[in-house]
Amino acid sequence: MKNLFCGAALLAALATASAASAQTAPTTTTPTTTTTTTTIADPAVVLTPEQQKQRADEAKAAYEAQKQQTSANEQALRAQKNQLKEERNQSKDIKDQLKEQRRQERAQKDQMKEQRRTASEAKKREKEARDQAKAEKRRAKELEKAAKN
């Protein structure tokens, strides 16, 4: 951007210098029939006001085109940065979701483990209760037998 402004300033200075030299140069009465337009600003070349205006317009158009190109490039760069930022955010969100999912899976696994342990303990208590009931039945039978004898 800085180079662009310097270039525009240089073109303006050259156009001013050309205009100044054209005003101070003696006028010649010999007509010149050059049809080639020089694009290099040479202070030795005398330019007509129309040529000066044309060069100034060309310089301004070049400046505007460069300015527009720079603006478009900056906008594309901003869009690309925003897209990368969005992708990073999405990636982070996905990682966070996966972490949360793993945490939930571990919690569910622990819960199932606790349920199995509780069920196993309940089964052991039921077996102990059955065994105790059987033992009491046997004792009751033995007592009955002993009482009959």
Return mean pLDDT, the chain.
Answer: 83
Q: Using one digit for the tens of pLDDT, what is the confidence trace for 28-87?
A: 444 444 444 445 555 667 889 999 999 999 999 999 999 999 999 999 999 999 999 999
pLDDT band (50, 70, 90) for residue 91: very high
pLDDT band (50, 70, 90) for residue 16: low
SS (H, E, C) the chain: CHHHHHHHHHHHHHHHHHHHHHHHCCCCCCCCCCCCCCCCCCCCCCCCHHHHHHHHHHHHHHHHHHHHHHHHHHHHHHHHHHHHHHHHHHHHHHHHHHHHHHHHHHHHHHHHHHHHHHHHHHHHHHHHHHHHHHHHHHHHHHHHHHHHC
